[in-house]
Chain A
């Protein structure tokens, strides 16, 4: 790809050496130019805030007390790690992210298997199944909190035989996760369906001719083929869901206490309700470090998947 494209762009051989090296340099900038606006914009808008977060995290700074800003080195970090609520919330974040992602992957796999057949109305079924993923998360969370999980008039209790169980206050974390799973299962389904449809049909056919049953075909052919897609689904789901804010904010406000708060919500509380800039910045940095650990793994996976998906890399 690279070589074929570079050939026509090479400087004409007739030109003298000095001009050619200068034009090669110009050519380099001409090639880079289209990239620069996007790159500069992204660096300014996304990287400067992170540098500022680092800087703020080393200061004691509360917006309620103007002039209180001063440098305290790592005191905020010490405070963050001594904060037992922070640990609860970090644990909630892990449970919420991994729990929702794994449940969504399993459900998504089942749905993808159901859809990977030829049947009447397949397109309609797929469209119906995709819809929860598209609903504005804030609206989806409102629906779950009210029309679905309400103790008296909620559909869930009606379906379960007219009981009046208060899901949101009894199982706040699970209630939030229910909304997340409902929204993310369609994504996993689409991803895994793409995986199933990229499976070589003749392999399955050959196995079937050899007398392999549906289950052994699934375990020995389908699952290994889907592995890459399953990994990708888990990693991407985790990246998006670790930032969950809407559902927590709308359904439980993190409560009762911090029972259903995750890190984004807790940092939001500290920053915008407690006005503690220093500590919320320090928590932000901790989250970034945790995310970098996951993301290094994720990036490698995305790159590998992309290479395998037929692009050059």
Chain B
């Protein structure tokens, strides 16, 4: 599809160039491209600024006009690790990886059941999964806090893991369902005619086709779990706190610590930005529950 659009674009521009009177369109695209680049860099600039500031000294971070040329230093990153971001990073990593694995373990068979071997009321089940994403988390936080407190699981990383798994499961089921539906029926039929068992069909026919989809789903779950803040700030403290909880420390200290703050923010954002760059083609599919490919 993209190819056809690009084809038409090139043919029209060559056609326009060939015509004498519409020479304007020769400079038009160039202007548009320049504009696009300016806008893109503008949108990206706060991120770039964060990364640049992370490599400054505090003195260089507070200048008017802002400093663009400076000698980069790792001082701030060292300071952030000295301030103890390490355990928070480890907690984030653990909660993200374990919850994502749990989501995959639960969602893959579920998605299989609602796509390739639909049972009765499949539609209702799908409806239920998606509806849990639409109920505001804030309405559940009070009982969650009370229950978690009662069973002595406050400030415990497994509490977050359970909640993150529940948070991402509906998205994963929907996303994976859309990948399962892309498996050609003919292949499945052929496998069953050849007498392959269900397990073998799944392993040797379905899995290779949907593994990019599983990977994309995992990346989406990683992004959401890593960035989650509401549960983390209300249910964890020094023991099980994740990176976003660590960042909260910077709003209470109103002092001049922008360079250090930027270093911490860079560390917090980096894993997800990388995951997201890889998954950018699938981001919309994940967030729209598979509605848009």
How far is A53 from B139 in the complex, measured between Cα atoms in Å? 7
Closest to A116 in B: B5
Q: Are A250 and B136 in contact (CB under 8 A)?
A: no
Q: Are B140 and A134 in contact (CB under 8 A)?
A: no
Q: Are B138 and A243 in contact (CB under 8 A)?
A: yes
Chain A residues whose CB sits within 8 angstroms of the CB of B248 once the complex forms: 138, 249-250
A191 and B269 contact, Cβ closer than 8 Å, known pairs A9-B117, A277-B146 = no
Question: Which one of B7, B132, B243, B283 lies within 8 Å of A187 (CB-CB)?
Answer: B283
How far is A292 from B143 in the complex, measured between Cα atoms in Å? 20
Q: Is residue A264 within 8 Å, beta carbon to beta carbon, of the partner chain?
A: yes
A268 and B109 contact, Cβ closer than 8 Å, known pairs A56-B143, A115-B36, A153-B62 = no
Question: Which one of A128, A199, A280 lies within 8 Å of B142 (CB-CB)?
Answer: A280
Q: Is residue B90 within 8 Å, beta carbon to beta carbon, of the partner chain?
A: no
Q: Mark A266-287, 1 if CB is under 8 A from B, else 0.
A: 0110011000010011001101
Q: Is residue B163 within 8 Å, beta carbon to beta carbon, of the partner chain?
A: yes
A2 and B234 contact, Cβ closer than 8 Å, known pairs A119-B36, A133-B283, A134-B276 = no
Q: Are A53 and B290 in contact (CB under 8 A)?
A: no
Q: Is residue A182 within 8 Å, beta carbon to beta carbon, of the partner chain?
A: yes
Q: Is residue B258 within 8 Å, beta carbon to beta carbon, of the partner chain?
A: yes
A52 and B147 contact, Cβ closer than 8 Å, known pairs A132-B47, A134-B269 = yes
Q: Mark B53-66, 1 if CB is under 8 A from A, else 0.
A: 10000000111111
Chain B residues whose CB sits within 8 angstroms of the CB of A245 once the complex forms: 138, 229-230
Q: Is residue A129 within 8 Å, beta carbon to beta carbon, of the partner chain?
A: yes
Task: Say what secondary structure dominates the interface of chain A.
Answer: helix
Q: Is residue B215 within 8 Å, beta carbon to beta carbon, of the partner chain?
A: no
Q: Mark B246-267, 1 if CB is under 8 A from A, else 0.
A: 0110110000001001101100
Closest to B106 in A: A38
Q: Is residue B79 within 8 Å, beta carbon to beta carbon, of the partner chain?
A: no
Closest to A134 in B: B276
Q: Is residue A78 within 8 Å, beta carbon to beta carbon, of the partner chain?
A: no
Chain B residues whose CB sits within 8 angstroms of the CB of A127 once the complex forms: 277, 280
Question: Which one of B133, B144, B262 lies within 8 Å of A49 (CB-CB)?
Answer: B144
Q: Are A288 and B43 in contact (CB under 8 A)?
A: no
* Least distance between A312 CB and chain B CB atoms (Å): 7
How far is A167 from B190 in the complex, measured between Cα atoms in Å? 65
Within 8 A of A (CB), among B127-180: 127-147, 162-163, 165-166, 169-170, 173, 178
Binds B, one of A14-22, A143-151, A169-177: A143-151
Q: Is residue A65 within 8 Å, beta carbon to beta carbon, of the partner chain?
A: no
Question: Which one of B107, B138, B146 lies within 8 Å of A267 (CB-CB)?
Answer: B138
Question: Which one of B130, B273, B288 lies within 8 Å of A135 (CB-CB)?
Answer: B273
Chain A residues whose CB sits within 8 angstroms of the CB of B106 once the complex forms: 37-38, 41
Q: Is residue B226 within 8 Å, beta carbon to beta carbon, of the partner chain?
A: yes
How far is A306 from B289 in the complex, measured between Cα atoms in Å? 9
* Least distance between B202 CB and chain A CB atoms (Å): 10
Chain A residues whose CB sits within 8 angstroms of the CB of B258 once the complex forms: 146-147, 153
Chain B residues whose CB sits within 8 angstroms of the CB of A182 once the complex forms: 43, 46
* Least distance between A292 CB and chain B CB atoms (Å): 8
Chain A residues whose CB sits within 8 angstroms of the CB of B45 once the complex forms: 155
Q: Are A32 and B113 in contact (CB under 8 A)?
A: yes
Task: Say what secondary structure dominates the interface of chain B.
Answer: helix
Chain B residues whose CB sits within 8 angstroms of the CB of A66 once the complex forms: none
Q: Are B288 and A232 in contact (CB under 8 A)?
A: yes
A37 and B109 contact, Cβ closer than 8 Å, known pairs A134-B269, A306-B291 = yes
Closest to B244 in A: A138
Closest to B245 in A: A138
Closest to B277 in A: A127
Q: Are A42 and B119 in contact (CB under 8 A)?
A: no
Chain B residues whose CB sits within 8 angstroms of the CB of A246 once the complex forms: 229-230, 244
Closest to A242 in B: B136
Q: Are B35 and A114 in contact (CB under 8 A)?
A: yes
Q: Are B251 and A250 in contact (CB under 8 A)?
A: yes
Q: Are A138 and B284 in contact (CB under 8 A)?
A: no
How far is A117 from B31 in the complex, measured between Cα atoms in Å? 13
Question: Which one of B43, B137, B166 lies within 8 Å of A128 (CB-CB)?
Answer: B43
Q: Is residue B210 within 8 Å, beta carbon to beta carbon, of the partner chain?
A: no
Chain B residues whose CB sits within 8 angstroms of the CB of A158 once the complex forms: 64-66
Q: Are B6 and A34 in contact (CB under 8 A)?
A: no
Q: Is residue A302 within 8 Å, beta carbon to beta carbon, of the partner chain?
A: yes
How far is A36 from B160 in the complex, measured between Cα atoms in Å? 22
Give 17 pairs: A residue, B residue, CB < 8 Å, sorted on A: A31-B117, A35-B119, A38-B169, A47-B132, A49-B147, A125-B37, A129-B40, A134-B275, A135-B269, A142-B247, A142-B265, A153-B66, A205-B8, A246-B244, A280-B142, A302-B130, A306-B290
Known: A38-B169, A125-B37. 16 other contacts (CB 8 A): A38-B106, A38-B107, A41-B106, A49-B143, A50-B139, A50-B143, A53-B139, A125-B40, A136-B269, A148-B49, A158-B66, A239-B134, A272-B145, A302-B130, A311-B178, A311-B181
Which A positions have Cβ atoms within 8 angstroms of B?
1-2, 4-5, 8-9, 28, 31-35, 37-39, 41-42, 45-50, 52-53, 56, 111, 114-121, 125-140, 142-148, 152-153, 155, 158, 162, 182, 185-187, 190-191, 194-195, 197-199, 201-202, 204-205, 208, 229, 232, 236, 239-240, 242-243, 245-246, 249-250, 253, 263-264, 267-268, 271-272, 277, 280-281, 284-285, 287-288, 291-292, 294-295, 298-299, 302-303, 305-306, 309-313
